[in-house]
Structure 1
Amino acid sequence: MTGRVRAVALGGGHGLHATLTALRRITPDVTAVVTVADDGGSSGRLRRELGLLPPGDLRQALAALAAAEDGGTLWSEVFQHRFGGTGALAGHAVGNLLLAGLFEVLGDPVAALDEARRLVGVSGRVLPMCPEPLEIEAEVTGLEQGAVSHIRGQVAVASTPGQVQRITLHNPLRPGVPPVACREAVEAVLSADVVFLGPGSWFTSVLPHLLVPELQDALVRTRATRVVILNLIPQPGETAGFSPERHLDVLFEHAPRLRVDAVIADRNSVPTPARLHHAAEELGGRAHLGDVCAAGAVGRHDPDALASCVREALGLHRER
């Protein structure tokens, strides 16, 4: 892999933020493809009141790409500012309101996000995985003895005390119709040099991308190097009790045609390295273990260490 690397990262929330922060250290050509199923907090309120894409994860991706070591621009700081108090604005981030306004005025989420990235000074691009808001449904065991329960909504799935077995995606605006991928997101995946999945909430931020048929097909067909970044710790509810290799098993269960080239994990988060190496080989790739956890911050990746591990997995160190 030579020259300027075209990187695409798929995910949402804090996990995607970690990947994007690391990728900024490698290349300026970064595209984030973001989940659009959030139904909690400020995003959920705006989604229910205005019928728009939930803006929170999109805002986080823009902030990650705009951030600089010295704190970034004033606009990027204002974009992340969240109102306090107890009134109607309490809990809303300025960036969420700005994106909602752009969505309504321009009538095109991609054009709105492109305008927002110019405002906050982002060199990369942020795209929704689907131009319409989606809803997650999960099959969960452990809530009723001997029964499989079905629960809907990202917050409900992320916080369930049961064990999530499988998820499906629905478009509440078009019942029975499979989710349609954002055209620009599909094009970005197909033209990328490297594509990343994870880290993040496995069932609500990572796997949803594989359940948009056109996006899964693009991930299968792309000639890009496909990299999975594993979480540092299991997430209560979603992946409680999951081993690192179980994360890969679930990935394959939701997208049997998908193959990966590299799996990145923190060496201290992998109790049995041989099993992870075998699981990565089963998907066609190789596991890369490194010290990528931030010192003194449980469950948080160190951006410099993660960037270094990514370079190693892509062979960029050898080119230097």
Structure 2
Amino acid sequence: MSWWLTFLCGVLVGAGIYGALLNRRRLKKRKVFTGRFRRRKGDSFYKAVNHRLSLGPHFVALGGGTGLSTLLRGLKGYSRNITAVVTVTDEGGSSGRLRQEWGVLPPGDVRNCLVALAENDSALNNILSFRFDHGELKGHSLGNLILLAATELAGDFRLAVEEMNHLLAIRGRVLPVTTEAVVLAGRTRDGKVVRGELAVSSNGSQLVEIWLEPRDAHPLPEVISAIYGADLVVLGPGSLFTSVIPNILLDDVSTAIRKSDAPKVYVANLMTQPNETDGMNLYDHTSWIAKVLKAFPDYVIANKAPIPEDTFSMYVASGSYPLMLDDNQRRALNEAGCEIIEAPLMKKLDNGMLRHDSHRLAEILVRLAKEDRD
């Protein structure tokens, strides 16, 4: 075991012991002062907020990458009954290196979702997203290494993620869709078979078929239970072929989604993704979801806010175009049984990048969940 991994294991053990002792101390204090301890106003407010969140709808959100974590940041303000189901096919960057060198499932998307659901994600994000810039650890993020260390300690990636769920006291839980080592594969129009997330992403717009290897991989039982217990199942936003679809390529997952009584919602991306979805419109995206899921979603949520001119030029220069509905697409989606919800959902970051407005998106999803539940 490398020195740095040994060190991280020590840090995790120390944090776990400290957390256990702190919790024990709190319990002891409560026991001593039961009946005469006056809680602070802030403590009462915190409990009231937690109670409200505990009564929120049960969401299952499937995806990966930036799109899923953006969605979660909005949802956690309305409910703590959130299960984020994360794809495990990532091959790039720090996650790809750890997968190749250590044989662990890629931790990057899981880390992002844990941070997004944490009570104070901005402070935590600075720590867990810290990326080393030189030496043996160059390119790795601290959060990925902590998940690797937790996996080594627990002996299982699922258990490691569960421990991180508890350690970070997140609003909800994050689950890998499977703990099996799966590889994304596809076939292009000219019959070429491509394997691996990077190859699939580079040929996405040419794909006619997509699958996971091994084809009989099984999801976590907790994922299936969460889907059947959901008030709303959300697919996206995120890269179509490498974040959203990989989750529903597992037969048990797609079957559970179809059989679930909960409404199914597809949240469309704001822009096309170079190479992966070149030339594809929003109806094409939804059709691929339907092809894999064997059913169209009940709702399609799309942005209708115009793209600022300077931002539009920047994205077009990189080969990315807005995903917005026209009359023909609306008609086709309606005929397929999809209810369309269009709203201004775009948010421009300080660096000029576009993201979904997580709070506006969450408001729509909460309304849909409550309407169905009522």
TM-score, with length taken from structure 1: 0.87
CA contact (8 A) 2:57 2:366 kept: no
Q: Does 1:128 align with 2:183?
A: no
User: What is the DSSP-based 3-state SS (H/G/I as helix, E as strand, rest coil) of the residue aligned with 1:148?
Assistant: coil
Which residue of 1 is the match for residue 337 of structure 2?
A: 284
User: What is the DSSP-based 3-state SS (H/G/I as helix, E as strand, rest coil) of the residue aligned with 1:214?
Assistant: helix
Report which of the two structures shows the higher radius of gyration computed on alpha carbons: 2
Map 1:188-267 → 2, pairs under 5 A: 188-256=226-294, 258-267=295-304
Deviation of 1:259 (Å)? 4.0
The one-character-per-residue Cα deviations of 1:252-272 (angstroms, maximum 9, x if unpaired) are 12222x342211110145554
Deviation of 1:102 (Å)? 1.5
Which residue of 1 is the match for residue 195 of structure 2?
A: 152
Identity of aligned residues (%): 35
CA 1:98–1:245 in 2, change beyond 3 Å: closer, same or farther? same
For structure 1, the residue ranges without an aligned partner over 5 or more in a row are 142-146, 172-176
Which residue of 2 is the match for residue 48 of structure 1?
A: 100
C-alpha distance in 2, partners of 1:310/1:6? Answer: 11
User: What is the DSSP-based 3-state SS (H/G/I as helix, E as strand, rest coil) of the residue aligned with 1:136?
Assistant: strand
CA 1:272–1:192 in 2, change beyond 3 Å: closer, same or farther? closer
RMSD of aligned residue pairs (Cα, Å) = 2.4
Q: Does 1:78 align with 2:127?
A: yes
What is the letter of the counterpart of residue 285 of structure 1? C
User: What is the DSSP-based 3-state SS (H/G/I as helix, E as strand, rest coil) of the residue aligned with 2:208?
Assistant: strand
CA contact (8 A) 1:17 1:61 kept: yes
- What is the number of residues matched between the two proteins? 303
What is the letter of the counterpart of residue 96 of structure 1? N
CA contact (8 A) 1:244 1:276 kept: yes
CA 1:271–1:306 in 2, change beyond 3 Å: closer, same or farther? closer
User: What is the DSSP-based 3-state SS (H/G/I as helix, E as strand, rest coil) of the residue aligned with 1:300?
Assistant: strand
User: What is the DSSP-based 3-state SS (H/G/I as helix, E as strand, rest coil) of the residue aligned with 1:92?
Assistant: coil
- Equivalent residue in structure 2 for 1:10, among 62, 71, 76: 62
Which residue of 2 is the match for residue 166 of structure 1?
A: 209
**Higher helix fraction (1 or 2):** 2
Shifted more, 113-122 versus 184-193: the winner is: 113-122
CA contact (8 A) 1:225 1:261 kept: yes
CA contact (8 A) 2:104 2:157 kept: no
Deviation of 1:79 (Å)? 1.6
Which residue of 2 is the match for residue 60 of structure 1?
A: 112
What is the letter of the counterpart of residue 227 of structure 2? V
What is the letter of the counterpart of residue 52 of structure 1? V
What is the letter of the counterpart of residue 301 of structure 2? I
CA 1:64–1:140 in 2, change beyond 3 Å: closer, same or farther? same
C-alpha distance in 2, partners of 1:184/1:295? Answer: 36
User: What is the DSSP-based 3-state SS (H/G/I as helix, E as strand, rest coil) of the residue aligned with 1:288?
Assistant: strand
For structure 2, the residue ranges without an aligned partner over 5 or more in a row are 1-54, 306-321
Map 1:97-136 → 2, pairs under 5 A: 97-136=145-184
C-alpha distance in 2, partners of 1:50/1:23? Answer: 33
User: What is the DSSP-based 3-state SS (H/G/I as helix, E as strand, rest coil) of the residue aligned with 2:187?
Assistant: strand
C-alpha distance in 1, partners of 2:59/2:325? Answer: 30
What is the letter of the counterpart of residue 131 of structure 2? R
Which residue of 1 is the match for residue 76 of structure 2?
A: 24
C-alpha distance in 2, partners of 1:153/1:250? Answer: 19
CA contact (8 A) 1:189 1:218 kept: yes
User: What is the DSSP-based 3-state SS (H/G/I as helix, E as strand, rest coil) of the residue aligned with 1:294?
Assistant: strand
C-alpha distance in 1, partners of 2:114/2:71? Answer: 12
